Amino acid sequence: MENKELQEIQTHLTDPFIGKVLLGRYRVDSLLGSGGWGNVYLGVHLSLDTQIAIKVLHQHFARDEERQRRLEQEAKVLSRVDSQFVVKTIDYGLTPIAFIVMEYFDGIPLSDILETEGPFIQDEAIVLFEQLCEGLGAAHNVGLIHRDLKPSNILVKRSENGEIRSKILDFGVAKILNDTSGSNKLTATGEILGSPAYMSPEQWTARPLDQRSDVYSLGCLMYEVLSGKQMFEAENSYEYLNFHLSAEPRTFAKVSSELNITADLEKVVRKCVQKEPQDRYPSVEELFEDLEKVRSGKRVTMRLKAATRANIVRTKRTVKWPIFAIGSLTLVSAAVLYYFREPILISACTNINKDADSAAKARKVDAAIQSYRNTLFLANYLPKQDKRKLHAMRSLAELLQKNGSFAEASKLKDQVNEITGANQPQNWQKLYNLANTEKAHGRWRNAETYAKETIRTAEQTAGKSSMLYALSIDLLGSIYQQSGRGAKAVGLQQEALRLTEDLLEEDDQQIPQRLNNLGLCLRQQSKFDDALKAYQRAIEYAMRYDHPALAVRPYNNIGTIYIMQKEYDKGLAASQRALELDLKTGNTCGSTIMNKIAVAYFRKNQFEKSIEAFEKALEYGKNAEGGFDFSSSLETWHNMGGVYEKWNKPAKALECYKRCLEVQMQNNPEDRDVERYKQDIKRMEQALATAPT
């Protein structure tokens, strides 16, 4: 059997969604394909007995509210698009699985057709373009722009008589125009979405978008369908950026002398891909009209605006761009970079880093090194602590070290440490340790004093945008939280989290730890919904980047909130998941988690299960010598006594309370709990004395 078939069988057997029935009526049958956000499955609408396609978010996005909102937005808006050339949306669900149910269209991606068959003949291409215009027009009419139009998002099917039928799919990064509901605020300021080969100049520069951006992307697609080549062919996002902002596409004659494309159709394509939106077709309806003219042999009259070179002169006078770093970057696009500054630089650096990461993974070391250097050149115009710059510096240092360039690698590492404050000055470290020592002993005033001094030292040494500062304010926040002053802690923990996410790689273990700390502060303020979100994000980070041990405490803290809200079954499920991960990763929290589980069973009046859980808590809490931790074992035995007392088993309760007194007298006979244990014993002895024989 072929390897591909074996892989398909293995996927079918191990995929958690295959065989599931969603919303009681949509059965998932097989995997059709995968993307960045999720998988697409072939399924059956059980009520109608028809085939459907089901788009399911990847599991590590299952609790990502932003992506869920985007999925919900896509489903709701697409349900209003009335066109036979857009894949119809039937239904959607968000919990426990986030998915969209769509019509199934057994077409072939246009990208596959172009790869295997080459360019379309002109007449067939125009039919395809008109269908795409109709589909996009229907979307634009309900205020939706696609933002990611490309050949892989177009399905094409040919009938037996050769007629083609197409459908547009994947509006996953679509934008709603004139939206006042707030549902469209799903991307951060300056976030760039799309595919580099087809993105309009305004997408690259993070300017406001309208339907003319889709016209540009459609023009790029039309160029490729007619010529068999992308309008701009580049090796990385850095080059695409340059081409889309400043370069003119080659004429079809220069692409190939064998292409039989009329001058009128070429003019139509060129009008679509003008650099400025006002110079393009204002709508796909007007583009459709010119396509009809070409198809019927009528002349298309238009004037295309010539590319301006005015910016070149200005750039020469205002910005010096070193040739070795620019590579193919022209002065025109350099001027645009300078003008739009941060949004486009963020986009460019993000895309270049992705290219560099891919090259490094493919062991194309020289290409990766050059790309990281390009990022560092552009990042000079971003804030000093920008995470894209830090990522490039760390990655470049690693590659240079492997290549034997130790001096340059060491210099880059020192720069990273200087920016992030990773080089901890001795006086700061001393204060940090003192604050932690005082915190551990519950001496809150002393701990607070040292922590504040730590913050001042970090600010003077590394600045407020450093990891040193983040560690310092996180410490003060934890002191406030543990001493019952959660209201003062929240702002500190939020700022510590922001700095950590800005300065460290996404897979760094400090991010889930910060999120868990923030959740603790929010829980203390009874902001349970916000606390749950923080814990869930901590779990997502921990599991996505293979740090399961860091998901233990957030899961256990989720259990605590549900138990506090008397949702005991949910609390048990979360705590048991925490226990499962804890046992797999080293059993450091088993005793604490089992105590939580025991309390939940007690609240449900399941006394036998509660006692069993407390006994397991004692077992998990044993030290290497087989003994018990003094304080935690006392709490467990005392709680067991309370369960037996409520269960009306005074003899068993008496045994537990006597055990508490015995341990307390051996370890700390002066403690005030001694009197409490004596009162518990006296109460149980009286209960036994008056119990019926």
Is beta strand 26-34 parallel, antiparallel or unpaired with respect to 38-45?
antiparallel
Span of 309-313, 643-647, 679-683 with lowest mean pLDDT: 309-313
Residue-level pLDDT at 16: 73
Is-contact 382 345, C-beta < 8 A?
yes
Among candidate residues 15, 82, 106, 148, the one labeled active-site is 148
DSSP 184: T
* Direct distance between the N- and C-terminal alpha carbons of the chain, in angstroms, rounded to an integer: 76
- 610 by Cβ neighbours in 10 Å (0-12 / 13-18 / 19+) ranks as buried
Rounded Cα distance between 544 and 42, Å, is 26
Q: Taking a C-beta distance cutoff of 8 angstroms, is the pair 677, 635 a contact?
A: no
Output phi, psi for 121, to 5 deg.
-75, 155
Element (H, E) at 353: helix 342-361
Residue 596 has pLDDT above 50, yes or no: yes
Q: What is the DSSP string of 414-472?
A: HHHHHHHT-S--HHHHHHHHHHHHHHHTT-HHHHHHHHHHHHHHHHHHT-TTSHHHHHH
Tell me the two tokens of residue 391: 């990522």
φ, ψ at 80 (rounded to 5°) = -95, -5
Amino acid at 277: P
Lowest mean pLDDT among 31-40, 509-518, 656-665: 31-40
Kind plus residue range of the DSSP H or E element containing 175? strand 175-176
Quickly list H helices, 83-210.
110-117, 122-141, 201-204
Question: How far is it, in rounded angstroms, from Cα 256 to Cα 226?
Answer: 11
62-66, 165-169, 272-276, 661-665: which has the minimum mean pLDDT? 62-66
The mean pLDDT of 415-434, rounded to a whole number, is 80
108 or 342, which is more confident: 108
Nearest of 419, 361, 432 to residue 395 by alpha carbon: 361
pLDDT band at 301 (very low <50, low <70, confident <90, very high): confident
Greatest Cα pair distance, the chain, in angstroms, is 110
d(CA 404, CA 663): 61
Specify the range with the lowest mean pLDDT, choosing from 312-316, 452-456, 501-505. 312-316
The confidence score (pLDDT) of residue 308 equals 42
Nearest C-alpha neighbor of 94 from the set 78, 117, 114, 75: 75
**In this structure, are residues 473 and 496 in contact, taking their beta carbons and an 8 Å threshold?**
yes
- Is 148 noted as a catalytic residue in this protein? yes
C-alpha–C-alpha distance, residues 168 and 154, integer Å = 5
The rounded distance, in Å, linking the Cα atoms of 237 and 353 is 9
What was the pLDDT predicted at 321?
35
For all residues of the chain together, what is the average pLDDT? 83
Both tokens of residue 686? 């009286």
β pairing state of 50-57 and 89-93: unpaired
Query: In this predicted structure, what is the pLDDT of residue 243?
Result: 86
pTM over 0.95: no
| DSSP structural state of residue 196 | G
Residue 670 backbone phi and psi in degrees, to 5: -90, -5
Structural domains of the chain in order of their starting residue, each with its CATH number: 3-103 (3.30.200.20), 108-307 (1.10.510.10), 341-420 (1.25.40.10)
Average confidence (pLDDT) over 279-291: 95
Q: Is the pLDDT of residue 336 over 50?
A: no
CA distance 205 to 191: 10
Q: pLDDT of 133-188, one tens digit each?
A: 999 999 999 888 888 899 999 999 998 888 999 999 877 555 555 443 433 333 33
State how beta strands 89-93 and 38-45 pair: unpaired
Which letter does DSSP use for residue 296 in this model?
H
Give the confidence band of 194 by pLDDT, cuts at 50, 70, 90. Answer: low
What does 230-287 look like in DSSP terms, one character per residue? -SS--SSHHHHHHHHHHPPPPPHHHH-TT----HHHHHHHHHHT-SSGGGS-SSHHHH
The type of residue at 403 is N
What is the pLDDT confidence band of residue 225, given thresholds at 50, 70 and 90?
Answer: very high
What are the tokens at 676? 């409490």
Q: SS in 3 state form for 33-54? A: EECCCEEEEEEEECCCCEEEEE
Residue 688: its H or E element:
helix 673-690
For CA atoms 361, 365, 371, 374, give the dihedral sign. positive
> Is the bond into 249 cis (omega within 30 degrees of 0)?
no
To 10 degrees, what angle do helices 528-544 and 552-564 make?
160
pLDDT at 423: 67
When pLDDT is averaged across residues 400-416 and rounded to a whole number, the result is: 86
Q: What is the pLDDT of residue 332?
A: 40
Q: Which pLDDT score is estimated for 682?
A: 94
Radius of gyration of the chain (CA): 32
Q: Name which of 9-18, 234-243, 554-563 the model is least confident about.
A: 9-18
**Alpha carbon distance 550, 538 (integer Å):** 8
Tokens standing for residue 398: 């690693």
CB–CB of 167/86 below 8 Å? yes
Phi, psi of 458 (to 5 degrees): -65, -40
Weakest mean pLDDT among 74-78, 259-263, 302-306? 302-306
**382 vs 202, higher pLDDT:** 202
